[in-house]
Amino acid sequence: MSVLVLSKKPVRQRPVDEWLAGAPVSLVTVTGAVDESVVDRFAEVVAVDDYGSWQVEIEAERLAARRAAELVASSSEVDVVRAARLRERLGLTGQSVASAIAYRDKLVMKRYARAAGIAVPEFAAVETPGDLVAFAEVHGFPVVVKPRRGGGSEGVHVLRSAADLVSLLGCGVLPAAPARPGEWMAESFVDGVLCHVDGLAAGGRILHCWPSRYSGGNAEAVRDGVPLTSAMLAPQDGSFLPLLDHAAAVLDALPHFPLPTSFHLEAWLPHDGGAPVLCEAASRTGGAFVADVYAAAFGVHLSKENLRGQAGLPVSAVPAVPVRYGGWVAITPRQGTFTPPAEPCPVPGVRLELTGVRGTGAVHAGDSVATVVVEGADAAQVRERISAAVRWWDAMEPWR
């Protein structure tokens, strides 16, 4: 079956040709993402200089016509909606435009969830200054203002007072005459622990998933320049089953995607108790080191299975329980020059990778100067090793 793949990742990081071996694959990617040595492994490769431009969709549709593509697969959040639009125009099976928008637009997403009786924050669209002021008057502070189709907590603002609201209105982030409607939304602040659930699903049914807990909110890590950590939960954890039930309810409530596709869902566990509250859900693999930890735990790479499922190929069977537990730490950049530690991290089960040399502060939750991947025999050991690795890092005082 001929497959068209949209992927901005370099093939050396996301080996599409190996993952979809046996299928005729045509690839639309960004210039420089494919080495000449692997071009002949694809039926055809089209590279564009600006992957964020509309040229991608035009080139993809032309390539699909030339190669008689029968399925369209995407691997990045930026491609979710445009891959769905391409399927709709060509009449192909896969995630629909309605489903793609529900997984990308957080306002639409929460409307579906609320209609299904799932706990969500109070929310509203923000098209004018009056919308934001009215929301704060009704629901009080703190108020969270965010892009409806954003990612990585980029552009998220937490307003804790009327002074914060006035400051945001005056800084130019929310223009007086928006270029297009539907860009922003407001939510009430949820005081709780942020968790995430990752796995594979199809037809509104979860095929496999596992929950993990963040050390804090993504937006707070970006704002404060502190490490963001994540650790898999043990089945005995009191939040384990509520998170699984919450994820199942959300994926059933949103318009279904028919083929096996990875998902990443975030939810708060309120400090005052009660059901998990939906933060957001995405029909793609989670960022940071979610896929690496999942692969080490279950022997299955979510990004690989995501592409195979969308390409109509069999997906791997996943063990019911992990062979090992895992977690990760993203060391966010601070102001100044970064001096890498001279010695390797002494904590057992820890792999440190350095990714940056100079800091100007974090903008996106994926920004990091170093990342730590942690493995352990159980969830408690993973948490202990994460804490030890963060303490070691802080003791190195790597910023000058």
Average pLDDT over residues 122-136: 95
User: pLDDT tier at 223 (50, 70, 90 boundaries)?
Assistant: low
Least confident of 203-217, 254-268, 342-356: 342-356
Average pLDDT over residues 166-170: 93
Enclosing H/E stretch for 61: helix 55-66
Q: Rounded to the nearest 5°, which phi and psi values hold at 81?
A: -75, -40
User: pLDDT tier at 104 (50, 70, 90 boundaries)?
Assistant: very high
Distance of CA 191 to the CA centre of its chain: 21
- Specify the pLDDT at position 364: 46
Other beta carbons within 10 Å of 178: 13
- Specify the pLDDT at position 363: 47
- Specify the pLDDT at position 64: 97
227 or 308, which is more confident: 308
Q: Rounded to the nearest 5°, which phi and psi values hold at 352?
A: -105, 130
d(CA 177, CA 159): 22
Domains and CATH numbers, the chain: 3-93 (3.40.50.20), 122-188 (3.30.1490.20), 192-396 (3.30.470.20)
Average pLDDT over residues 319-338: 87
Average pLDDT over residues 95-108: 98
d(CA 379, CA 325): 6
- Specify the pLDDT at position 362: 44
Mean pLDDT comparison of 23-37, 155-169, 329-343, highest-scoring range: 155-169
Name the burial class of residue 160, with classes exposed (0-12), middle (13-18) and buried (19+) by CB atoms within 10 angstroms of its CB: exposed
285 SS3 class: coil
Q: Quick one: the chain helix, strand, coil %, rounded to 5? A: 30, 25, 40
Average pLDDT, whole number, for the chain? 91
Cβ proximity of 398 and 338 under 8 Å = yes
- Specify the pLDDT at position 222: 58
57 SS3 class: helix
- Specify the pLDDT at position 46: 96
Average pLDDT over residues 248-277: 97
Would you say how long the chain is, in residues?
400
Laid out side by side, the sheet with 123-126 consists of 123-126, 184-188, 143-147, 157-159
d(CA 339, CA 397): 8
Residue 330 confidence (pLDDT) above 60? yes
Average pLDDT over residues 156-180: 86
